[in-house]
Amino acid sequence: MIIKAAAGNSLPGDPDWWKKAVFYQIYPRSFMDSNGDGFGDLQGIIDRLDYLNDGTPASLGIDAIWFSPFFPSPDRDFGYDVADYCAIDPRYGTMADFDRLVEEAHRRKIRILLDLVMNHTSSEHPWFQESRSSRNNPKRDWYIWRDGRGPGKRPPNNWRNNFFGPAWTWDEKTGQYYLHSFLKEQPDLNWYNQEVREAVFAVVRFWLDRGVDGFRLDVAHLYCKDPELRNNPPYWRRRKPAESLPAGDRTLIMNLFYYLGAPEFQVKIYNEHHPETHRVLKELRRVLDEYPAKTSVGEILGEDAGVLASYYGTGSDELHMNFYFDLMHCRWSAGAFRRCIERWERLLPPEAWPAYALSNHDVVRAISRYDQGGEGERRARLLALMLLTLRGSPFIYYGEEIGMKEARLPKRLLKDPVGRKWYPLHRGRDGARTPMQWSDSPAAGFSSGTPWLPVGPEIGKRNVAAQDSDPASLLNFYRRLIWLCKDLPVLQQGAYRSLVAGVPADCYCYLRELAGSKAAVALNFSRAPRTVDLSPEGRSWRLALSTDYRRTGESGISTLKLGPGEGCLLLEVGG
Ligand code: GLC
């Protein structure tokens, strides 16, 4: 293995930093607009880095940022259709701005993860332009081209794309179909082609050489498909995986998704999770390992948690981390969350390190997902406490820390192709991508111009300025929690164990344990007070943090009283 010297811009240090880090996802278009054009930009992000971490508990205290793409893109899928992997879209700034962003972030000990969207490119990427120019172009085989079937020239097989519709589009000029797992403007790369792999790894090295600390891998479970392109079987032939979130533990919407024919009445056995993809990810890991202290986190989607866990390889030869999305699909129930975590802990290889998120740019924000009966705000605190204290790296989605809610936008304002196509059945993903709410001004302090999407609801209280000085605010809860976790090795590295004895069924409790020190987390999912007996695990506990900010200074606890919807973090005294 060649270990490169740290590039000029790199942060030196702990190769395992990503296991201790709190991550923050920025959707660059919506974070901060510095030039008034209504789009977020890199300078805007630089201007707000101190908010994220200025080295003091007055800031949020995050350790790493994952940026959704800011590469040149025709924006058919808002950056997830990349037209040039090694440049910055001028609307976001220049490469010099990017270098400054890395430098300024690193100066604050904030690491940088980029979004590597490598299942597909934009149809405007020069690679595809060449590939589609003629059947014998040298890049023809960089994408997946096939003849039509039969005299009617039907598509090569029955595969459907993930935004609904056929996965094949006919190209008039060269008389063949090409494959696309998403929009027709997002043609899939052919990962069986060695030149494609080399080209992608060159992109990876390009950014690592500029000092980035790792990558989030977009839909990495789709990279390789069945080389014979066999038809997927119909949905009724689906066998329920042994290891999955049971219907009773899933949100209603996810159950509808699974039982009303997702994904489009077929079982995707031939176009997802192909064994060759694991070989690609192992090769990618070797590229990352050429550099010190890099990391990766995969977006691997699927129903079978056993399959999802396999993307860790042995635990250290494939993905560093892999989001476990079942956590986002749990219905509001202590048991559902507990079983979900227990399943993942049980399935992971010993060295594997979990990554958890409750919100991102593709799903309804958690605070709105769980807002039944107006409980969203209280539940957001409980979820924050859980996210930050589970074993694994937490990913916070921008605005989650101030309780930004999902916006319900009318069709005419929708930008996301999913919403535009399926409205009102599906409003798409714009509702989770609205501008960061810095203040209660009309454009939320995000822009001096007109934001590309309208600002979200309840701007009066859900903004940074309003919450900054309010000790009871969600923002200040996040700040206390994150800074507290930094000082507690047991929370960063300790083993996880669920507590069941002495715990009411509608509470979720667990222990974190490290070399004799113990932390307990007790989460009351019910709307009534509850009592948890901690005495079997330790005689005396001290309250380190409650979701109820008025509650401080308690110690000598063995039986913990929880208010409705309250969560507490406790440390064993003398442990
Ligand atoms: C991932 C991204 C999503 C995008 C899709 C296609 O799921 O998170 O936003 O639409 O990939 O690239």
Residues with CB under 6 A from ligand 1: 77, 80, 117, 182, 218-219, 299, 361-362
Structural domain including 144 reads 126-179
Which residue's alpha carbon is at the smallest distance from atom 5 of ligand 1? 80
pLDDT of amino acid 349: 94
Confidence (pLDDT) at 109: 96
**What is the dihedral sign for C-alpha 175, 180, 182, 187?**
negative
Q: Is residue 186 part of a domain?
A: no
Mean pLDDT within 285-314: 97
Q: Could you tell me if 170 and 200 lie in one domain?
A: no
Q: Are residue 143 and residue 66 in the same domain, yes or no? A: no
What is the CA(161)–ligand 1 centre distance, in A? 12
What's the total number of domains in the chain? Answer: 3
Question: Does 457 lie in the same domain as 393?
Answer: yes
- Atom 4 of ligand 1 has which residue's CA nearest to it? 80
Q: Which residue has the tokens 């949020």?
A: 60
Per-residue model confidence as pLDDT tens digits over 501-541: 999 999 999 999 999 899 999 999 999 999 999 999 999 99
User: Is the predicted pLDDT of residue 291 greater than 80, yes or no?
Assistant: yes
Query: What are 149-206's pLDDT values in tens digits?
Result: 999 999 999 999 999 899 999 999 999 999 999 999 999 999 999 999 999 999 999 9
At 255, give phi and psi (nearest 5°).
-65, -40
Distance (Å) from CA 508 to ligand 1 centroid: 32
Give the CATH number of the domain where residue 146 resides: 3.90.400.10
69 and 200 housed in the same domain: yes
Per-residue model confidence (pLDDT) at position 575: 52
**Gap from CA of 481 to ligand 1 centroid (Å):** 30
Are residues 277 and 340 both part of a single domain?
A: yes
Q: Is residue 488 part of a domain?
A: no
CA distances from 419 to 74, 109, 180, 399 (A): 18, 38, 19, 22
Which atom of ligand 1 sits closest to the CA of residue 163? 10
Q: Are 407 and 431 in contact (CB under 8 A)?
A: yes
- Give 209-237 pLDDT, tens digit per residue: 999 999 999 999 999 999 999 999 998 88
Percent of the chain exceeding pLDDT 70 equals: 97
Name the β-bridge partners of 165. none
Residues pairing with 497 in the sheet: 511
What is the Cα–Cα distance from 213 to 204, expressed in whole angstroms?
Answer: 11
Q: Does residue 496 sit in helix, strand or coil? A: strand
Region of 229 please: left (phi>0), alpha (psi -120 to 50) or beta.
Answer: left
Say yes or no: 282 and 372 in one domain.
yes
Residue 233 lies in a domain: no
pLDDT of 10 higher than 70: no
Instruction: Pick the last residue of a domain from 440, 463, 483.
Output: 483
On whether residue 435 sits in a domain, the answer given is yes
**pLDDT over 90 at 240, yes or no:** no
> Do residue 499 and residue 479 come from a single domain?
no
User: 115 with 131, same domain?
Assistant: no
- Do 446 and 360 fall within a single domain? yes
State the catalytic residues.
218, 290
353 and 468 both lie in a single domain: yes
Q: How confident is the model at residue 7 (pLDDT cuts 50, 70, 90)?
A: very low
What's the confidence (pLDDT) of residue 169? 98
What would the pLDDT profile of 405-460 be if each residue is shown by its tens digit? Answer: 999 999 999 999 999 988 988 899 999 999 999 999 999 999 999 999 999 999 99
Q: Which of 483, 503, 530 is the last residue in one of the domains?
A: 483
Query: How many CB atoms neighbour CB 350 within 10 A?
Result: 8
**Residues 313 and 455 grouped into a single domain:** yes
- Looking at residue 3, its pLDDT comes to 44
CATH number of the domain encompassing residue 543: 2.60.40.1180
Measure the CA–CA gap between 382 and 522, rounded to whole angstroms: 9
Q: What is the mean pLDDT of the chain?
A: 95
